[in-house]
Amino acid sequence: MKSFDAIVIGGGQAGPFLAARMVEKGMKVALIERKFLGGTCVNAGCMPTKTLVASARAAYVARNSAVYGVNIPGEIAIDMKVVRARAETVTMNARNGLIGWFAGMDGMTVIYGHARFEDPKTVSVNGETLTAPRIFLNVGARPVIPDLPGINDIDYLTSTSIIHLDTLPRHLAVIGGSYIGLEFAQMYRRFGAEVSVIEHGPKLASREDEDISDAIADVLRSEGIDIHTGVSDIAFARSSDGITVATDSARIDASHVLIATGRKPNTDDLGLDAAGVISDKHGYITVDDRLATNVDGIWALGDCNGHGAFTHTSYNDFEIAAANLLDGADRKVSSRILAYALYIDPPLGRVGMTEKQARASGRKIMISTRPMSRVGRANERGETKGFMKVIADAETKKILGAAILGIEGDEVIHGIIDAMNAGTTYPALQWSVPIHPTVSELIPTVLGDLKPV
């Protein structure tokens, strides 16, 4: 049996950085990764997909360049092999950077293999047994494959496998109208494929307010994406030239099908029972406000604990654990103000409460909205789709939440995120003097238009 001061299972966006901090403190750490360092973000999520989004935007801008007085003769062609290679290069650069970093770190032992608990202080991997007083789980999540008629008879894609495509689908059917599915839908439409989105719920991006969801749908429809919502029945069958997707309202002749119906934690084969670690009915490991499980000496970080499921929340889990365990702090998950983005174009930046949540909270609230068509930068760039919305507490004057669907919305939202984390009241932020011409300069104007509801 090999002994360590700590064992980290999973090489995503929380565990490796925590392992590095512990090594800096003179600890002996084992980092166990089943497949690739970097987790979903580096290998199958943010980095490759946003690289693909950038390629798709380049194609979109080129096709529409005449609007700006730039004439490109001939048809805009897409070389999917180059597109794929570019995304793979970004992934490999990041992955190899992590490999090199850890290789030069005394006290760090990286082990590739599948780890399972033998007891609360012991795990087995590759036939070896390791023990440590502290064990951190950062095992991530994977796509959910729903049990739909005919699904096992077709060759479907997931968010992991679609990034390796080096040919352009004739017609991509996207099953699931949430964030992952919508990003791939617009991306492949811009590459030149016909695209249909099929969503069980009554609207796309169901987490969002109805006006945001409707605006997202308008953006996608304007680019020729076929959207089907409120679909109750879906079945698949092979056809002579692809896959038939039959719903209760439509029949789609697709060449490829992307299943984007959510993700589930990679906790079902960890041997949690042997350690006595509790998980919920969905497989998410139950943790307290400081990310500790019910078993002393075991913590769960990142997607597997169900508190965020984003790269930035996973990294923040590392920050919380490191601060509490190594720096004598007392940081809590409940102090985190959730923010995220949807990377369609234009992007959606979101923080805090939706309007629906704010109304349900019983607070006296104020709301302000402003169309992107009234933003100078948006008009100058010819990108006026979307709008801004801010919700505030009428009594405390604190900002409760915001949504910015529009050009650079994923960046502009950080002005609101910072203000909310600093506890700044909206009147104080209203009197800032932003740079012109930017999208962010409209934040004080939007705040000045807040009205009670």
Q: What is the CATH number of the domain that holds 268?
A: 3.50.50.60
Co-location of 100 and 193 in the same domain: no
User: Where does a domain end: 309, 335, 361?
Assistant: 335
Co-location of 163 and 122 in the same domain: no
Number of domains in the chain: 3
pLDDT tens-place values along the chain, 453 residues long: 999 999 999 999 999 999 999 999 999 999 999 999 999 999 999 999 999 999 999 999 999 999 999 999 999 999 999 999 999 999 999 999 999 999 999 999 999 999 999 999 999 999 999 999 999 999 999 999 999 999 999 999 999 999 999 999 999 999 999 999 999 999 999 999 999 999 999 999 999 999 999 999 999 999 999 999 999 999 999 999 999 999 998 999 999 999 999 999 999 999 999 999 999 999 999 999 999 999 999 999 999 999 988 999 999 999 999 999 999 999 999 999 999 999 999 999 999 999 999 999 999 999 999 999 999 999 999 999 999 999 999 999 999 999 999 999 999 999 999 999 999 999 999 999 999 999 999 999 999 999 999
Co-location of 325 and 397 in the same domain: no
Co-location of 132 and 277 in the same domain: yes
> What CATH number does residue 361 fall under?
3.30.390.30
Say how far apart CA 182 and CA 197 lie, in whole Å. Answer: 8
Find the domain containing 446 and state its range.
339-452
Active site residues: 436
Torsion from C-alpha of 176, 177, 181, 185, nearest 10 degrees: 120
Co-location of 52 and 127 in the same domain: yes
Question: What Cα–Cα distance (Å) separates residue 144 from each residue in 190, 259, 318?
Answer: 26, 8, 26
Co-location of 270 and 128 in the same domain: yes
Co-location of 369 and 255 in the same domain: no
Co-location of 185 and 108 in the same domain: no
Co-location of 34 and 55 in the same domain: yes
Q: What is the DSSP string of 161-175?
A: TGGG--S--SEEEEE
351 membership: H or E segment, kind and range: strand 348-352
- Give the rounded distance of the alpha carbon of 415 from its chain centre: 20
